[in-house]
Structure 1
Amino acid sequence: MPLNSIRELHLHGNPWTCDCHARYLRRWLDKVNPSRAEPPTCAAPSRLRRRAFEAVPLSQFACPPQIREGARTVTAWSGDNVTLSCSVSASPEARVRWTWHGRPVVNGSVSQPPGTRYRVFEHGREEKTSLLTLHAVSESTAGRYVCDRP
């Protein structure tokens, strides 16, 4: 039997975790709209406990971002170009930011003193990779660059 031919569905009474893994079910219920005696309710996460599926906005069916950094240490000579990478898994899509000495690294900006140019390239959505390229590095731009979410 095709799923779209279901007329009645009983999902209540189950300990539903209303996170990114249940998002597909929430979308399907909105689309097909089978009759339900009682709506399914969330058991977790705690902020959504006892709330009916349809009372929870789709954006709340989310999972915390998982950040995986690339190489921990990169060594370069003055004048070299260096690319740092970081991958983020998140649903919904997460924003990524790079910081250096606690300050945001802005795409297209130039370091002070002038010299190193920063470029950020991102691809993907829920599985996103962010690449930070430092053009013409120098001693003044050495340090710890951090990939995180704002």
Structure 2
Amino acid sequence: MLARGSGPEQRTRLAVQWRQISWIACWIALCAVEALPACPFSCKCDSRSLEVDCSGLGLTMVPPDLPAATRTLLLLNNKLSALPSWAFANLSSLQRLDLSNNFLDQLPRSIFGDLTNLTELQLRNNSIRTLDRDLLQHSPLLRHLDLSINGLAQLPPGLFDGLPALRSLSLRSNRLQNLDRLTFEPLASLQLLQVGDNPWECDCNLRDFKHWMEWFSYRGGRLDQLACTLPKELRGKDMRVVPMEMFNYCSQLEDENSSAGLDIPGPPCTKASPEPAKPKPGAEPEPEPSTACPQKQRYRPVSVRRAIGTVIIAGVVCGIVCIMMVVAAAYGCIYASLMAKYHRELKKRQPLMGDPEGEHEDQKQISSVA
């Protein structure tokens, strides 16, 4: 009787347990779906490293269904030419973003606004010409930034103000001609700076940045060669080895500009000045301000070639003078020794005047000869 009665009860317990197991399995599946959302079409996703690889797919826009938990997003080698401001919205966990080798020419101001955990940003080999000063203000953890091979002609002041953790920065192969020292002073953690292959103009506008480079190298930072393109006298030379004496004219230029600023401002000077108005008949002519444009003097640093030539000529002249002095001294010594020898021989051959013994000996010699 017990064995028969135990059958239905056992089946009931098994049904209850199976129902509980089914609910647990469904809950786990729902959690897994939420934790690991679907991978974007044609992209490769790694659930362990939370990496989404959409590189080399010819994409013209960022996939809209990116998982919110993505930590690494690779979009290099595509055809992205423009990005909307919401392209990376809700990706607050993103740490690494690679947009290299695309056709981007401009970045919206708030495109990286949600990337508060971003540590690496690759923008290499695009067509970016300008950057907004607030572009990176919401990524304080950024450590590596690559802006090389673009069309940047200048960097806006304050671009790196919110990046105290930045360690490496690449600005190679752009159109930069000068940089402002104040733009780089907030980068207290910077260890590597690449600025080569730019058309640098080594003039007064780059003097303050030269001071910053020397300080950066002194504290152990690594910096590649900043080769001058202009002026012609400094072409190919590293800005760090150019002596500060080459920029002495900058102080003179600043003094002239400051003194010019104290003058009374006059009408703007233009190339084509308007003709003076003819005075009305019967009215006294009023003195007209001078509209002649003063010729702007072109300041140049001291010529390195001329300085080197002056040193060489001075050395040659000093060498010739020294050789002449040595020759004259040697000639004097030789002449003195010859004259001394001549006088000694003369004394031996001719007796002194008024010496009777010498005359007697001469007479004896003459008689003996006869």
Scaled to the shorter chain, the TM-score interval is 0.3 to 0.5
- Please, what TM-score do these two structures have when normalized by structure 2? 0.18
Q: More relative contact order in 1 or in 2 (CA 8 Å, sep 6+)?
A: 1
**Bigger radius of gyration, 1 or 2?**
2
Q: Which has the higher helix share?
A: 2
Q: Which has the higher strand share?
A: 1
